[in-house]
Amino acid sequence: MSHQTYPPPADRMGALSPDIRITPTLRHATLPFQRRPAQTRSGCDKGFTMVELLVVLVILGVLISISIFAYGNYVNKARLTVAVSTLETLRLTLENFHIDYGGYPADIDFSTGEDDLGRTVFDNQFALQLSDDLFAVDSYNSAGLGYTLFARANNRQRTLLKMVPEITIIQD
């Protein structure tokens, strides 16, 4: 069978535009700017297949798991940074105490901010900040001219921090 296009007989179709063609393989007339009807998948007119939906769900699951892992690492590093910053503030407070009293406090109650003689090393607001930003203050030792403080950060690993007028991260 030939696939030629030919104009329809004028007596059956009336006066048609020369752009309209009828082909023997099509069941209806098409204009040049019209698209032919699409072939449908097994009788369905529109929609996604189950495989396509499953692929999208798997991709979304992978992206969500990656973003949750990245967010957890971000929060963990931020908590370590906050702990180091809080210890830096404590270091400056101890330096001010040293200037005011001529030495470092022999012992500090970190829940109240007072030393063993009842002098204020830092205020109650900073004591609350210490309890929020640090997991624990393990030890504080002073020899008058120097001090050593060990604290644990409030991150996932409970990173050990050492402060001896400078702050050192011992274990990460």
Pairing of strands 114-115, 134-142: unpaired
Say if residues 118 and 108 touch (Cβ distance below 8 Å): no
DSSP annotation string for 39-54: PPBTTB-S---HHHHH
Residue type, 33: F
Alpha-carbon distance 40 to 104, whole Å? 84
* Distance, CA of 8 to chain centre: 66
Residue 9 has pLDDT above 90, yes or no: no
* pTM tops 0.75: no
Residue 63 has pLDDT above 90, yes or no: yes
Q: What is the largest CA-CA distance in the chain?
A: 118
pLDDT tens-digit series, residues 87-104 = 999 999 999 999 999 889
